[in-house]
């Protein structure tokens, strides 16, 4: 299978420092404020959300196609919650909200495939320590 590479660099202290994250065609800044408060730039949790929503959408599309159907669209939003435990900051919850357009897909089969994608997509498996919540809607 494939191997993907991402790189980050951090300069300075946690609160006053700044960094950059780089992968594929993306390079962007991140700071304490962009991660723990409200500030410009990205943060690791946002990137986990992008990875999770993309992975879930692709996995669900593959499951639907495996039923002989052709999904018109699978749109997923991920909200990653950063909390704190006795060790420090931790991702506590990831909320996946998905909307699918697919002719011929029954509600019952859609619910089955949506849950299977939540359990089996590689990023869901990676972040299994978090509480992953799913809200999936089949659009007509």
Domains of the chain with CATH codes: 7-36 (no CATH), 44-139 (3.30.300.20)
For 41-89, the pLDDT digits (tens) are: 999 999 999 999 999 999 999 999 999 999 999 999 999 999 999 999 9
Instruction: For the chain, state the CA radius of gyration.
Output: 17
Q: Report how far residue 103's alpha carbon sits from residue 100's, in angstroms, rounded to the nearest whole number.
A: 10
β-pair partners for 20: 9, 29
CA distance 25 to 108: 39
Q: Encode pLDDT of 40-50 as tens digits.
A: 999 999 999 99
Residues 6+ away with beta carbon under 8 Å from 20: 8, 9, 27, 28, 29, 30
**What is the pLDDT, as a whole number, of residue 1?**
80
Indicate the pTM of the whole model.
Answer: 0.92
């Amino acid at each position: 299978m494939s191997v993907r590479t991402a790189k980050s660099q951090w300069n300075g202290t946690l609160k006053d420092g700044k960094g950059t994250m780089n992968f594929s065609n993306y390079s962007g800044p991140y700071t304490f404020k962009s991660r723990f408060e409200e500030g410009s730039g990205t943060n690791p949790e946002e990137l986990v959300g992008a990875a999770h929503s993309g992975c879930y959408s692709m996995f669900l599309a593959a499951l639907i196609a495996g039923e002989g159907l052709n999904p018109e669209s699978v749109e997923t939003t991920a909200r990653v919650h950063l909390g704190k435990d006795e060790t420090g900051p931790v991702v506590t919850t990831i909320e996946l909200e998905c909307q699918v357009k697919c002719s011929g897909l029954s509600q019952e089969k859609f619910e089955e495939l949506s849950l299977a994608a939540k359990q089996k997509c590689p990023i869901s498996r990676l972040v299994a320590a978090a509480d992953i919540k799913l809200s999936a809607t089949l659009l007509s």
